[in-house]
Amino acid sequence: DATLLWFRQDLRLDDNPALAAAIARGGSVVPVFILDPGGEGDWPPGGASRWWLHHSLAALATALAARGSRLVLRRGPAAKVLDALIREAGAGAVLWNRRYEPAAIARDSAIKQDLKRRGIAAESLNAALLFEPWEIRSRSDAPFKVFTPFWRACLERGGIAEPLDAPKRIPAPDAWPEGDDLDGWRLLPTKPDWAGGLRAAWTPGEAGARERLSSFLDSGLAGYAARRDRPDLDGTSSLSPHLHWGEIGPRRSWQALEHAAAETPALRSAASAYQRQLGWREFSTHLLHARPELPADPLDARFAAFPWESDPKALRAWQRGLTGYPVVDAGMRQLWRTGWMHNRVRMVAASFLIKHLRLHWREGEAWFWDTLVDADLANNAASWQWVAGSGADAAPYFRIFNPVLQGEKFDPDGTYVRRHVPELARLPAKWIHRPWAAPDAVLADAGVTLGKTYPRPIVDHAAARRLALAAFQALPRA
Ligand code: FAD
């Protein structure tokens, strides 16, 4: 009989356990992707994610066609769509790779139970993680709350499986079920078409992912530990959207790093530093699995009483990169233009929203969700709560980033600011992170008129810091 292979966030043929298991069943394989925004709970995909998904599905369809197969596109509630396809294809089994978001877990477990009850084989496998969230437990047999011991436990457990190679052929059914036309899903923006910067920056799909990885191994890895905090240097892999959509798996990345370190022992520590970041990705999912309220509620209950401000004007200035703090604005504009922001700047921009503007971290989480091409429920929620100080293993609330000093330290020549805030491009490095302090003659020389060509700071750092600390100190003690 036929096997339905349900693609989700595993949009690749390499190291795809559900695909391998579907082929191993022996019959034909019918690959399907179901657009089911209603099945995503409170988190249907945002604009940048929809853009990415469109191109990634197109790439997957091409890759499947090259192996004698096809991608069947359907839209609607997943359970209903699967039922129809089982009938149409005469399928005896449905296989998929797991997702870990609370809404997906609820939907998928109900589907699995129902299929089994009706005598249809249903199996889910692991394509997305090095370790299943429930495998890693503390000595007291509980989920971890702190990253370092979590990662130590992961490394001690070891046993990361070798990735599976992509199959050469995928057995096709005699007749294909009908599918939707991808363009008809209207995942791409039309008017206005805001995706020009995304198109310039990214190649969604498995081939694009492999290319990123190999160029990072060739030219980024050696300097990774020293350069990863420098937004001006492009020192990170930019693999996050590819990892989120499963266009490359963590096992393949892990193995590539191990090979690089085995070939060039000097790369060992850089490889471990990179693997540790993959560890943060694992940790976020581990947290979300243990605490499904992570995207909505503070893990530290004291923060439920935080007196968040409501200030649509300030929120808008932050979203558009018009706060008057150059490194924050550069980050927010990089995000808007390219769908991605450097991690160091994400931390500074998030801290600015939460602490300088005292707007709820959920406002920032929602904006990132809509604009990031790597928008990921676990990573996004865990990171926002980390910055807010309300998460597990979080930065303490009272540690407030100074956006000027952060800029001067991590973008010392102002290259990053110049790239994304062109109206400041001609300011000397000495003033680029605090244009309001520059002498009038310097501003005039650089063509900057504060309040006109570039905003004055929307809040004063020292005053904002005092207000934030006062609000924090007024919270009930633990
Ligand atoms: P690299 O440095 O090359 O790291 C390799 C991989 O490790 C990344 O691709 C990513 O999958 C993982 N990783 C790295 N840092 C982290 C981290 N701190 N937490 C979890 N995983 C990590 N990452 C997302 O993938 N999706 C999000 O929605 C997201 N939202 C964030 C929101 C805030 C407020 C902050 C501070 C961080 C967020 N991050 C998110 C984490 C991090 O910023 C990105 O993963 C990273 O910048 C991606 O760039 P890269 O691939 O070049 O990273």
pLDDT attached to residue 478? 63
What separation in Å is there between the alpha carbon of 346 and the centre of ligand 1? Answer: 9
Residue nearest to atom 22 of ligand 1 (CA): 281
pLDDT attached to residue 396? 81
For a ligand 1 pocket test, name from 383, 387, 393, 410 the mutation site with the most ligand atoms within 8 angstroms of its C-beta: 383
Backbone angles phi, psi at 28, to 5 degrees: -85, 160
User: Is residue 93 helix, strand or coil?
Assistant: strand
| Cβ 245 under 6 angstroms from ligand 1 | no
Burial of residue 421 (CB within 10 Å: 0-12, 13-18, 19+) is buried
> Tokens representing 335?
């995000």
Atom of ligand 1 nearest to the CA of 240: 9
> What's the average pLDDT block by block, 10 residues per block, for the chain (478 residues)?
97 98 98 96 97 98 98 98 98 98 98 98 98 97 96 96 97 98 97 96 98 96 94 95 98 97 96 97 98 97 94 98 98 98 98 98 98 98 96 82 98 98 98 98 98 98 96 84
What separation in Å is there between the alpha carbon of 284 and the centre of ligand 1? Answer: 10
Find where tokens 């477990």 sit.
109
- Cα distance from N-terminal residue to C-terminal residue, the chain: 59
Please say whether the beta carbons of 150 and 136 come within 8 A. Answer: yes
pLDDT attached to residue 8? 98
Atom of ligand 1 nearest to the CA of 224: 2
Cα 361 to Cα 299: distance, rounded to the nearest angstrom: 13
Specify which residues 75 forms β-bridges with: 35
Query: What is the CATH architecture of 129-162+206-290?
Result: Alpha Horseshoe (1.25)
Pairing label, strands 72-75, 91-97: unpaired
Write the class of the CATH domain 2-127. Answer: alpha beta
Instruction: Please tell me what DSSP assigns to residue 94.
Output: E
CATH fold match for the domains 129-162+206-290 and 301-473 = no
What separation in Å is there between the alpha carbon of 187 and the centre of ligand 1? Answer: 24
Domains of the chain, by residue range, sit at: 2-127, 129-162+206-290, 301-473
Burial of residue 273 (CB within 10 Å: 0-12, 13-18, 19+) is middle
In tens, the pLDDT along 386-416 reads: 999 998 877 788 889 999 999 999 999 999 9
What separation in Å is there between the alpha carbon of 238 and the centre of ligand 1? Answer: 9
- The region, left, alpha or beta by phi > 0 then psi within -120 to 50, assigned to residue 86 is alpha
Find where tokens 């998928």 sit.
108
| Cβ 243 under 6 angstroms from ligand 1 | yes
What separation in Å is there between the alpha carbon of 114 and the centre of ligand 1? Answer: 36
What separation in Å is there between the alpha carbon of 380 and the centre of ligand 1? Answer: 8
Cα 203 to Cα 194: distance, rounded to the nearest angstrom: 16
Question: Taking each helix axis from N to C terminus, what angle separates 47-65 and 206-219, rounded to the nearest 10 degrees?
Answer: 100
In tens, the pLDDT along 324-343 reads: 999 999 999 999 999 999 99
Query: What is the CATH architecture of 301-473?
Result: Orthogonal Bundle (1.10)
Please say whether the beta carbons of 52 and 241 come within 8 A. Answer: yes
| Cβ 130 under 6 angstroms from ligand 1 | no
Q: How far, CA to CA in Å, does 172 sit from each of 27, 44, 52, 77, 474?
A: 9, 32, 27, 25, 65
